Structure 1
Amino acid sequence: MKAFIISDSHGWEQELKKVIDRHRKDVDILIHCGDSELHKEHNALRGVNTVKGNCDFGDDFPNDITEEVKGVKIYVTHGHLYNVKMTHVPLSYRAEEKGANIACFGHSHVAGAFVENGVVYINPGSIRLPRNRVEKTYCICDYNDTIAIVTFYDIDGNVIEDMVYRFELK
């Protein structure tokens, strides 16, 4: 199962569409972790599973979603409701409650991935306003029963070599 994960595009339209279209045919699911600042019907978000961030106004998007793709359960939220800038504990409780294999979130604009209690946690960073790195980032997670590989890319589609995470599962 391959998941494309992006977050915190903060109003960028053409840039967001270009990045998503680059990978659209190569993945099983497209995910935006919130703060798109676009409407649900926007062309850039066509076919993208999108949640509401703290900078998204209106009722276009849900606060969280859970999707199952090829037997892999993916939980998606923006993270502001779980205080992810301070701790991952509330998010981990929610992900475990949902039975997630993967938990995707944004909000902090800090790209990274880690495993806790068998759940792969992924923050794709931001394609507009990254923090802790200069690269504007998004990622793809390639997940099967025994391994998860999370590969981060810059906005131009180049692999960020020191941000390829390989997690042994089970």
Structure 2
Amino acid sequence: MKVLICSDSHGLTNELMEVKKKHQEVDVYIHCGDSELDFNDPAIQGYQVVRGNCDYGNDFPEQLMVDLGKDKLFVTHGHLYQVKSSLMSLKYKALENQATIVCFGHSHILGFEMMEGILFINPGSIHLPRMPKEKTYVVLEITDTEKIIHVYEYGKGVLYTKHFPKEN
């Protein structure tokens, strides 16, 4: 199973379509909000999208759950869970929803960590990155034995890969 995760594209369209075209082998495409696009925009078609603090209207949900077989993916933008200061609120929401993976954005800062058996992923931003300076997105690969995060720099390729063994 492969999941492409991006966030905070802030109005970009060609880039979203190029990323999707480059990764046609992916099973699920996720956008963690602040697309600033209309629900019907062709650039966002095929992505499962949540609403960010810069998205107006009610076209996208505030959060969503994605069933990935043995894993449950919780997606939100992060502004409603104060992710710029702590992941605690988000962790409790993940536990409440029995999520094993959480994807969020908002801070424009690439990061991931395992906490109490839950993998938290912030793919950074493909438009306005804060740290690192590279415009990033993530492809999460889930196997029987591990979760593998492939970090991509938009327009260039893989920056690095991180392995997380599955807990028994």
TM-score band w.r.t. shorter chain = over 0.9
Are 1:167 and 2:158 matched, yes or no?
no
Residues 135-170 of structure 1, C-alpha deviations (whole Å, 9 max, x = no match):
100000011343111110011141013xx2111121
TM-score (norm 2): 0.96
Q: For residue 149 of structure 1, what is the aligned residue in structure 2?
A: 148
Q: Separation in 2 of the partners of 1:58 and 1:98? A: 25
Aligned twin of 2:111: 112
Number of equivalent positions: 167
The whole-number CA distance in structure 2 between the counterparts of 1:51 and 1:134 is: 24
Q: After TM superposition, where is structure 1 displaced by more than 6 Å over at least 4 residues in a row? A: none
Instruction: Report the identity percentage.
Output: 46
Query: How far apart are the structure 2 equivalents of 1:42 and 1:69?
Result: 26
The one-letter code matched in structure 2 to 1:98 is: N
Deviations 1:104-150 (CA, angstroms, capped at 9, x unpaired):
00000001111011111100000000012121000000113431111
Q: Is the 8 A contact 1:19 1:157 kept in 2?
A: no
Contact 1:53-1:107 within 8 A present in 2 as well: yes
2:56 aligned with 1:41, yes or no? no
How many Å separate the matches in 2 of 1:121 and 1:90? 12
Superposition CA RMSD, Å: 1.0
Letter in 1 for 2:20: I
Aligned to 1:139: 138
1:58-137 correspondence to structure 2 within 5 Å: 58-137=57-136
Which blocks of at least 5 consecutive residues in structure 1 are unaligned? none
